A and B are shown apart, each in its own frame.
Chain A
């Protein structure tokens, strides 16, 4: 017999029961709010253009299919088709992502609220965290405020690039790449992930809003300040928990975002990805004004169960899959 094979679960059965209870309380949260549960396909003919996400891919009838990194495109097509508010608890897949907090296959809780502003959706995220993990009230600050408070640097100022280079190059562990980095977003993302995030108080759920327009992803730009986007992220318990937008609904702008993404991918030496034409067609027909958010369900389970490794809340993490 092969004794060395890790056939046993990476989570305890007690944790799996807590995970099941969390799934149930999440569904109950949306049921009372009349948000419709959907389950869109995980295999789609288009991948994602996002410069920093990679799809896993497979084949069906000689056609390449991409395992979805999030159910976003399909859910937006449902919204355009008149679904009204929807949510999904879905497996999603991201190539190259493995760490104590990442498993290449994980569960995403994603939902869209028709007619909601970004601020209204943030309030609902707070309610969900309160209902499921008994989180205290959310604190909120803008991306600009956060950088000013933690690094004394205005990320929107014309000299932000030089200031960040200087600041990060003072740190021996960052110096090698930061001093040579000429891309502002890479410096901002490095400062956020490697300097600011580790400083955040784990016991306070923090919402960071108004990301720079260059990191808008699929969010609308702020009509009152085009330098920033109506995008937010939630950090709690030392984890990046959720990412949301007041959604871009304009097909033409969406096509431009696909093109910008691909230009960035080319710069980074990554393969081009065809923008999803079905999403564009749906947007052309008209998607209602809405806000949407994607939340890492396994990380929510880590918070509930007080676990530090994502493998501890998965029946079988990738090394045992």
Chain B
């Protein structure tokens, strides 16, 4: 993998740090008038998800990370692996529990997810921003309540728990924003 000099740093660049592939979130040059310049960089560790700050002497190089994002459709879970398929080439990739992480509660068959591959292996799965899931469990709501008065918890078919308005019932399908985990609307079946 190529090395990158600090002057090539920009948000989104993938580099190796502490033996882990990372994405640069923010890069800022710190340059004293007469002194050595530094790059103060925020990086997101792609496996642990941790965001950390690092500094580099400007002009230094760091190893790049062979990290790419691919869009793949979710197929099924076999108990150990989650299987995804490229809808164009039909090539399949299996991601383990560590890579899927919290995304597991938003996985809907046929939905296209973004898989982050490091050296060809999946290290992270990002579900679509919005998914539609059926409610399997929630308290019966009060009739006539249409405004959000705090709502109630509802368990979805994948096990995710979302706060929903009181009028939403078991068996209904709702749209959820996976980035915030918030209820968006009911979906007409």
**A binding-site residues for B, Cβ under 8 Å:** 50, 52-53, 96-100, 102, 172-174, 176-177, 181, 185-186, 189-190, 192-194, 215, 217, 233, 240, 243, 268-269, 294, 296
Contacts and interface: CB of A to CB of B under 8 A. Distances in A.
B19 to A, nearest CB: 12
Given A52-B36, A96-B7, A190-B38, A173 B55 contact: yes
Interface in B1-52: 7, 28-38, 40, 52
8 contacts: A96-B37, A98-B29, A99-B31, A102-B29, A190-B38, A190-B55, A194-B38, A268-B59
Given A174-B55, A176-B54, A215-B34, 14 more contacts: A52-B34, A52-B36, A96-B58, A99-B30, A102-B31, A177-B55, A190-B38, A193-B30, A193-B32, A193-B38, A194-B55, A217-B34, A243-B33, A294-B33
Interface of B: 7, 28-38, 40, 52-60
A177 B32 CA distance: 17
A269 B56 CA distance: 17
Given A172-B52, A177-B56, A99 B28 contact: yes
Given A173-B55, A177-B56, A217-B34, A194 B29 contact: no
Nearest to A102: B31
A192 B32 contact: yes
A172 to B, nearest CB: 7
Q: 8 closest A-B pairs (Cβ-Cβ)?
A: A189-B35, A99-B29, A173-B53, A189-B36, A193-B32, A243-B33, A186-B36, A193-B30
A177 B34 contact: no
A194 B40 contact: yes
A240 B38 CA distance: 15
B174 to A, nearest CB: 38
Contacts, number: 71
Contacts of A193: 30-32, 35-36, 38
Contacts of B54: 173, 176
A105 to B, nearest CB: 15
A97 B31 CA distance: 8
Given A173-B53, A174-B55, A177-B60, A190 B36 contact: yes
Contacts of B38: 190, 193-194
A189 B32 contact: yes
Contacts of A192: 32, 35
Contacts of B7: 96
B28 A52 contact: no
Contacts of B32: 52, 189, 192-193, 240
Contact of A52 (B35, B40, B52, B53): B35
A293 B30 CA distance: 21
A243 B34 contact: yes
A194 B30 contact: yes
B71 to A, nearest CB: 26
Contacts of B53: 173
A96 B53 CA distance: 22
A161 to B, nearest CB: 15
Nearest to B58: A96
A190 B54 CA distance: 13
A173 B30 CA distance: 14
